[in-house]
């Protein structure tokens, strides 16, 4: 049986993200799973996700790190409480800050691995360290500081703009 990704547990109103929403037909549909104590996403860039020909543009790398980070934060919080990812009350995380270091050009013609490790869970804040790996090389690293927000708050802001 295929392992269910973190994002497969997101409810529909949280599944429209261009980075990781299963209902966003235009988006990247990033999927993240546990791999031991690390979290792992894989992503194959499109030929047009270029910085210069042959290499991935920095904005995609930042996007992958960001969505990987929020997904990993939610999964880490559920794991800490020893609960299934669809159990209530739900854990939802938004990005507070995103720091990316570009170490070398990231080749575009391969499947990227995005690996996260949970640095800290402190109250409603989860910090995730992320590496982007292409052909075995770490090409970028990231730090994602995520903040837990009540699902009620997210539903309210969606409702407000839908009016």
d(CA 19, CA 43): 11
Smaller CB separation from a second copy, 80 or 99: 99
Q: Rounded CA gap, 49 and 52, in Å?
A: 9
Q: How far is the CB of 73 from a second copy (least distance, A)?
A: 13
CB of 78 closer than 8 Å to CB of 92: no
Backbone angles phi, psi at 157, to 5 degrees: -70, -35
- The pattern of x and - marking residues 12 through 51 that bind a second copy according to CB under 8 A reads -xx-xxxx-x--xxxx------------------x-xxxx
With tokens 């194959």, the residue in question is: 44
d(CA 92, CA 71): 9
Shortest distance (Å) from residue 153 CB to a second copy: 10
**Would you count residue 109 as binding a second copy (CB under 8 A)?**
yes
Residue 128 neighbours by CB distance under 10 Å: 27
**87 contributes a contact to a second copy by CB under 8 A:** no
Tell me which of 8, 57, 119, 148 binds a second copy, using CB under 8 A.
57
**Residues within the interface to a second copy (CB under 8 A):** 13-14, 16-19, 21, 24-27, 46, 48-55, 57-60, 62-64, 66-67, 94-102, 105, 107, 109, 154, 157-158, 160-162
């Amino acid at each position: 049986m295929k392992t269910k990704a973190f994002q497969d547990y997101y409810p529909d109103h949280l599944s429209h993200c261009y980075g990781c929403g299963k209902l966003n037909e235009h988006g990247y549909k990033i999927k993240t799973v546990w791999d031991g104590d690390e979290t792992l996403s894989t992503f194959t860039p499109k030929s047009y996700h270029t910085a210069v020909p042959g290499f991935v543009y920095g904005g995609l790398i930042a996007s992958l790190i960001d969505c990987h980070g929020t997904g990993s934060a939610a999964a880490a919080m559920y794991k800490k409480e020893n609960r299934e990812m669809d159990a209530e009350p739900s854990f939802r995380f938004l990005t507070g800050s995103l720091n990316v270091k570009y170490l070398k050009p990231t080749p575009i013609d391969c499947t990227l691995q995005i690996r996260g490790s949970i640095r800290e869970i402190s109250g409603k804040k989860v910090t995730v360290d992320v590496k982007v790996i292409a052909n075995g090389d770490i090409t970028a690293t990231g730090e994602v500081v995520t903040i837990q927000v009540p699902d009620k708050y997210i539903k309210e802001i969606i409702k407000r703009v839908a009016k």
